A and B are shown apart, each in its own frame.
Chain A
């Protein structure tokens, strides 16, 4: 293998873990195509790539969860074939999963015990758990059941569980995706400490600034192939993004020349009891959203964003009609269809299952939200031509890539399906658009298309409400940003005054000091 890495990148130490020509094939699809990667001790190694680039497949193979189709893995210079995760763990490979591998109805200590292989007694495990969590500043109560814990605490369990095996090599799959900026900072301190202890870390992330700050080396994957290994500190976020995407990403156009008009969506003192066991109670939420304006709602997932979406869309009704006012009409008691007829449109967070019926065709899915107000139904009969036309228009306007004219929703990739769902609503020319996590798990190219579409819609005079966990996204498109915490909504801040620190504190539930250095989020 030619060493294409810049000089001075590696210390002389020999690799702890190497993959040589690692290939994983699913049918005709090459998820990993001959990937070579070297990971050295005392190194935080970033693994970058868009969705579907093969990052997860690669780490699953390294952790023994899947068997590679070809190629080999070397651990401390010696070829190994992993029979499963427990063998990986016993050799000193630990992993912190993106979608936590926790058991909601078991206690913290039981969850940790399940991740350990030894014959340790339960009492010893609990004692060691407390000791490790104290050493690394990751406080945990071993007796609590997981469903009672916040997302940040859940991740702590994962990390502590991995650390209790004393791994030489730790894989973290998008660990900061669900954390507030402050929680992420705490995590970075722990990671730096692990590095100083001589451990190696493989760090998967979409957040390029974070990678530049934390990582010593970065390997970029695209379409299952390794593109390059580089030093992220010598690159810019833009150059890293170019390598990931394989081309320029269109900049989202600035929000110049947009005028705000009349209030189109008003929420007055909305309170709502949780609809299900794990739900959040909405408490006294009020805001006003004018035409031509984009309001961003930030916050860690599970702080009432889903409940707010349900209350706005009409999936849950409130007793008092005046709590939700759409286009000047009290709508709190109106059904989804009636709200759509008032000119509102909704894009939920979950694409498959909530936004679309996975096994139904796109045209049928277009009908599902368009039947009320888009002239697709005449005298009770479906106008098939009109539904197909909607699909064609969305395809054309928003560059939806699909195998045939009218495929099943489930056959589209995440980004393309999201473009279709957002497009489907925007083509109805809504007066109010409520959209939740518009670019969650969507690749950079599609994300840019969607953000631009939201900006254009606002420019055309619509009121747009965007819920997102991605602060950079909100900084890009929103005029004002409010933060949800424990079912309450903060006072919206003008986007240029909303510093990362300020938002982060709000996301953690504290009220920021009034006199705080205000540098804008995107800066």
Chain B
């Protein structure tokens, strides 16, 4: 029993940064923009988040630092890919490389420092319920925040007019422009939201997951978040399932090593990507028409005026 609870807690902890970053990227991609710089925005968010928390002693301010840093990174992307209509794939990759370098620079002075990590919720009585108590009522604020975030995004995309317009921009930017919607402005906001989420997801790592900063600590989570968006076929509901599934795989990988199971850890690390490829194949076979991906994803749009 204890072990099951521990594993669930570990899975939740490992899944949360994936869920937050992927939620942001989902919105970005639903608006038709492919930002491959998630890893870069996350790592800068991690460095700045840690710096903020270390300087002020507040986890909350640290998280804010992470969000602001992620948003700033995404604005570089927006300027290049939307403002100057540069190829999105190339810009996104460059953003990741920039982010990794930048985070090393920012974080250099903080390596080896420690902070007090985010506290877990404690409600007397509720949190003490065996098995589910700590899982449901004993998490830190980031976990609850990630769940509120994905529910909010679902509601926004499918229940609000603004969400409909955002999806329309991702489906056909020429039509959206012809109807008079400011495609580039909407996309800029979507990219910024994606950056804010990636920054928050990055900040989660040194503020809640491990209480210190090391360079490269995102360790490919940004790429997994990108794969996750594809895995979810751009749907918030499936994104939640995918995030916990991918998180579980990472935990499984650690435990498998501990138990001495003879599966190479490299294979386990590759599993999320393998799963994404398989899901893509299944999706394209199952669906008879329409496209699962936003039809305008990754295409450059220059309005004529």
For residue B241, CB closer than 8 A to chain A, the reply is no
Q: Chain B residues with Cβ under 8 A from A101's Cβ?
A: 172, 174-175, 178-179
Q: Chain A residues with Cβ under 8 A from B179's Cβ?
A: 85-86, 101, 114-115
Tell me if B288 and A277 are in contact (CB < 8 A): yes
- Residues from 64 to 112 in A contacting B, C-beta threshold 8 Å: 64-67, 84-86, 89, 97, 99-106, 110
For residue A136, CB closer than 8 A to chain B, the reply is no
Q: Chain B residues with Cβ under 8 A from A84's Cβ?
A: 180
CA A278 to CA B167, docked complex, whole Å: 21
Tell me if B164 and A110 are in contact (CB < 8 A): yes
Q: Chain B residues with Cβ under 8 A from A278's Cβ?
A: 289
- Residues from 276 to 299 in B contacting A, C-beta threshold 8 Å: 284, 287-291, 294-295
Q: Chain B residues with Cβ under 8 A from A99's Cβ?
A: 174
Tell me if B168 and A106 are in contact (CB < 8 A): yes
CA A66 to CA B177, docked complex, whole Å: 11
Given A101-B175, A104-B171, also A114-B290 (CB < 8 A) = no
Tell me if A65 and B178 are in contact (CB < 8 A): yes
For residue A440, CB closer than 8 A to chain B, the reply is no
CA A65 to CA B288, docked complex, whole Å: 35
CA A85 to CA B289, docked complex, whole Å: 31
Q: How many B residues touch the partner, as a band? A: 20 to 34
Q: Chain A residues with Cβ under 8 A from B287's Cβ?
A: 277
CA A148 to CA B291, docked complex, whole Å: 12
CA A77 to CA B284, docked complex, whole Å: 55
Given A67-B305, A114-B165, A114-B168, also A105-B180 (CB < 8 A) = no
Q: Chain A residues with Cβ under 8 A from B174's Cβ?
A: 99, 101
Q: How many residues of A contact B (CB 8 A)?
A: 26
Nearest CB of chain A from residue B198's CB, rounded to whole Å: 26
- Residues from 228 to 282 in A contacting B, C-beta threshold 8 Å: 277-278
Tell me if A104 and B295 are in contact (CB < 8 A): yes
Tell me if B175 and A103 are in contact (CB < 8 A): yes
Nearest CB of chain B from residue A395's CB, rounded to whole Å: 31
Partner of A103, one of B168, B177, B288, B304: B168
A-B contact count (CB 8 A): 68
Q: Which of A64, A67, A105 has the most CB of B within 10 A?
A: A105
CA A147 to CA B295, docked complex, whole Å: 12
Tell me if A66 and B305 are in contact (CB < 8 A): yes
Tell me if B305 and A113 are in contact (CB < 8 A): no
Given A110-B164, A113-B164, A277-B287, also A102-B172 (CB < 8 A) = yes
Query: Chain B, 169-197, contact with A by CB distance < 8 Å: what is the 0/1 string?
Result: 00110111111110000000000000000
For residue A392, CB closer than 8 A to chain B, the reply is no
- Residues from 202 to 250 in B contacting A, C-beta threshold 8 Å: none
Given A145-B290, A148-B289, also A104-B172 (CB < 8 A) = yes
Q: Chain B residues with Cβ under 8 A from A104's Cβ?
A: 171-172, 290-291, 295
CA A114 to CA B180, docked complex, whole Å: 10
Q: Chain A residues with Cβ under 8 A from B289's Cβ?
A: 147-148, 277-278
Closest A residue by C-beta to B292:
A105
Q: Chain B residues with Cβ under 8 A from A97's Cβ?
A: 178
Tell me if A85 and B178 are in contact (CB < 8 A): yes
CA A101 to CA B168, docked complex, whole Å: 11
Q: Chain B residues with Cβ under 8 A from A277's Cβ?
A: 284, 287-291
Given A277-B289, A278-B289, also A103-B172 (CB < 8 A) = yes
CA A93 to CA B161, docked complex, whole Å: 23
Q: Chain B residues with Cβ under 8 A from A102's Cβ?
A: 172, 175
Q: Chain B residues with Cβ under 8 A from A147's Cβ?
A: 289-290
Nearest CB of chain B from residue A161's CB, rounded to whole Å: 9
Nearest CB of chain B from residue A414's CB, rounded to whole Å: 18
Q: Chain A residues with Cβ under 8 A from B168's Cβ?
A: 103, 106, 110, 114
CA A474 to CA B160, docked complex, whole Å: 49
Q: Chain A residues with Cβ under 8 A from B294's Cβ?
A: 105
Tell me if A106 and B304 are in contact (CB < 8 A): no
Q: Chain A residues with Cβ under 8 A from B165's Cβ?
A: 114
Q: Chain B residues with Cβ under 8 A from A65's Cβ?
A: 177-178, 180
Q: Chain A residues with Cβ under 8 A from B180's Cβ?
A: 64-65, 84-86, 89
CA A131 to CA B180, docked complex, whole Å: 25
CA A277 to CA B287, docked complex, whole Å: 8
A-B CB contact pairs (8 Å), 6 listed: A85-B180, A103-B171, A110-B164, A114-B181, A115-B179, A277-B289
Given A115-B179, A277-B291; 5 other pairs, CB 8 A cutoff: A65-B178, A85-B178, A105-B291, A114-B176, A277-B288
